[in-house]
Amino acid sequence: MLKSSEFDDAAYAAQYKAVEECFLNYKSRMSFSGARFNYFKEFRPKPSDVVLLSPLKCGSTWTQQIMHGLRSRGNMDFDDINRMAPVLELALDDGYDIHGDQPYSPRCFKVHLCWEDRPKGHKYIIVIRDPKDSLVSLHEFLQGWLVPDDTNLDIFAKVFYVHHSKDVFPSVHDAIASWWPHRLDPDTLWLHYEDLKAHLPAVVELIAEFMGFDTGDRELLDIATKQASYEFMKAHEDKFRTELRGVSTATNKGPSKVNKGVGNRKHLLTEATNLCMDEDWKKFVQPVTGFSNYSDMRDHINREMGRPWAVLK
């Protein structure tokens, strides 16, 4: 068991049990099974549909905003981005008709699934992130909502990531391994969270081209880029919150998904947690990709795909 020096054995065991109970509650409300799964299986795609595939806390809400901004020319007349680009696994909870038209074209959806479980017959945008940064972001996101405010990061890692992540949504490691063979498919656009942050205008243009919009329309690209900025999304952050399904609160709104997403957070992880995640990479990702770490894999993909920032590097 991962052990933090700030805990004695009894305190560590008590918080571990408390966080595990939080997870079991989370799992019971978010598990992709039963009626949710059956509703999802009824989905019949249109060839023009664009589905965003992303693990948790890897930039999917950010990318949703870009996709919607491009197709709507910046229309912000919505109360929840998930109403504009629904999460297919949770569409039944949201009361969303996955068979109907959307206000704008193409229809856009989001899923947190591995490649083999994805809805078939679409165009796909894949967004991934350094697994260690994703873990820290998930820990910060869920504190005060599904786990206590003072939840130790190592305990969180042990319960949510190391042992249980596959029970609800796939880990970043699982997602990368499943999607890697399809990164060059013509119906697929592979992106990295870190490139959204460092090269936002260029990534917006890539998404626009992939979705079939005129990249010569600089006004459209400028609108989508501006509305995907931290400053703009923070000013409208109530549109980018998660509903607390099954939780009774004054607003039924969860934590904001808008943050600056500062990278290189792995220094917040203990050596034991870092080593555990490195082992998962070696076990699940390296045999498929041939790369021993995320940074080298990302650099290779950007060069392989001729991304302009990779050429300039």
Measured distance CA(66)–CA(108) in Å, rounded? 11
What value does the mean pLDDT take over residues 279-284? Answer: 93
What is the model's pLDDT at position 166? 58
Q: Could you give phi then psi for residue 111, rounded to 5 degrees?
A: -140, 150
What value does the mean pLDDT take over residues 41-58? Answer: 91
Instruction: For residue 155, give every residue at least 6 positions away whose Cβ sits within 8 Å of its Cβ, in sequence order, or none.
Output: 2, 4, 12, 15, 16, 19
pLDDT tens across 163-186, in order? 655 556 788 999 999 999 999 999
Residue scoring higher pLDDT (180 or 265): 180
Stated as kind and residue range, the H or E segment containing 190 is: strand 188-192
Measured distance CA(121)–CA(195) in Å, rounded? 27
**Using an 8 Å Cβ cutoff, are 221 and 208 in contact?**
yes
State yes or no: cis peptide before 106, omega within 30 of 0. Answer: yes
pLDDT tens across 213-255, in order? 999 999 999 999 999 999 999 999 989 876 645 443 333 445 5
Residue type, 258: V
Which position has the token pair 């083999």? Answer: 116
Helix (H, G, I), strand (E, B) or coil at 245: coil
Query: E-assigned strands of 89-187?
Result: 108-111, 123-128
Examine the pLDDT at 1 and tell me if it is beyond 80.
Answer: no
Q: What DSSP designation does 74 have?
A: S
What value does the mean pLDDT take over residues 295-302? Answer: 96
131-142 and 271-280 helices, crossing angle to 10°: 120
Is the pTM here over 0.85, yes or no?
A: yes
